Amino acid sequence: MTEPRAEPVPGTEPAAGALADLRVVDASTLFAGPMTAMHLGDLGAEVVKVEHPRRPDPARGHGPEKDGHNLWFKTLGRNKRMVQLDLSSEGGAAAFRRLAATADVVVENFRPDTLERWGLGYGELSAENPGLVLARVTGFGQVGPYRRRPGFGTLAEAMSGFAASSGEPGGPPMLPPFGLADGIASLATAFAVMSALHQRETTGRGQVVDVAIVEPIMAMLGPQISRWDQLGTVQPRQGNRSSNNAPRNIYETSDGHWVAVSTSAQTIAERVVRLVGRADLVAAPWFGSGRSRAEHADELDAAVGGWIARHTRDEVVEQFERAEAAVAPIYTAEDIVADPQLEAIGTIRRVPDPELGELAMQGALFRMSEGDAPTRWTGRAAGADTAAVLAELGYDAEEIARLGASGAAAGPGVDS
């Protein structure tokens, strides 16, 4: 068992990072909202996560654990101070209003009208803090007939067109094995939040950001709507192939590994077929465009796959690199942490953790010549910072104790 380390004291570190002047209140659960706050925290924003006392973020129970400590939440909750409040109680709602009055951004993903029912709608929050940006992340948005449906990423992956275009030809639609729609929505929400904050510099006013999880993933799927509108056709399921270029697939090497090949550029396609001993294909009339090459995918896959099957993964990567053709090994986490390129750009960070000693995790999504910030701490226990944050808001010890005793910090579950 890893030796525990001293617990960090969130909120005491010197400000660092491009967003170090921002305070974000994360009142969301599961993935799209919390990931949004995580991205902002990665660039130095102070993030205060508010959870229900008896029903904390369900993400704490997702994925693998070690010694009773959830590994996913160690990542998702990084750089966040953890506060417990029952927002449906009078005292909890009052404390949340006081907290929101100090914030630049509130991220929430309750069903529409829930905050309003608790007296915490944007009208009430912005009356005390006109510059507040309220990011509302739901499955289908704040208006319309589906507005109060449960909004999970799986539903967005189904309704966006993603599942319909994924899978093997003739097989069923296929969902991703992870929160793809939530992850894309978190990036869109972070972008929307920063756009609203930029506009605030001109107007002096905050605003509501309405993100429907179904929309950002739909935007990633290319011209499927225009294709249907103009041609009346839909993207067929093609497995690992593409209708835009070939060879484009995954292929097994002689030592039992897999590699992915892409030929989006014509010059790359020519280099690949020359490398595998089929230079004659370059002269074929159909070889001149990605779309027409895709119509001959069987022939191209046979040539490329046959050559790759006779070589080890290292040999394939080495010879493709020498030929300036495009290939990548299919990695697992074990490969990722050992890759020299990812090490060189700092993709994986090792963060001290009070329970596990040190924890490897992916860091921020990009690097900045000025404005990067360290990962300050891993995800903490629910409510670990309640007393400290309430004290910063002006509550004395007696009031903090009274909040807990009255149910504001220890109340019954609420149906959001």
Placement of tokens 């499927």 in the chain: 224
In a 13 Å sphere around the CA of 151, the CA atoms on its Cβ side amount to: 30
What is the three-state SS of 208-223?
EEEEECHHHHHHCCCC
Tell me how far CA of residue 93 lies from CA of 117, 190, 286, 340, 395, in angstroms.
11, 25, 66, 49, 14
Cα(335)–Cα(314) distance, integer angstroms? 13
Give the H/E segment covering residue 25.
strand 23-27
CB atoms inside a 10 Å sphere around CB 191: 15
Is residue 385 part of the annotated active site? The answer reads no
331 touches 323 (CB < 8 A): no
Cα(222)–Cα(214) distance, integer angstroms? 14
Local structure of 110: helix, strand or coil: coil
Cα(416)–Cα(113) distance, integer angstroms? 9
The angle at the Cα of 385, spanning 47 to 51, to the nearest 5 degrees, equals 70
In the 8-state DSSP scheme, what is residue 312? -
- Which one from 42, 104, 182, 385 is the annotated catalytic residue? 182
Q: Which amino acid is at 279?
A: A
Cα(349)–Cα(337) distance, integer angstroms? 10
Residue 223: is the preceding peptide bond cis (ω within 30°)? no
Q: Which two tokens stand for residue 251?
A: 């292929």
Q: Where are the beta strands (DSSP E) in 90-234?
A: 105-108, 133-138, 208-212
Tell me how far CA of residue 128 lies from CA of 237, 243, 270, in angstroms.
52, 54, 63
CA 292 to mean position of chain CA atoms: 35
Active site residues: 182
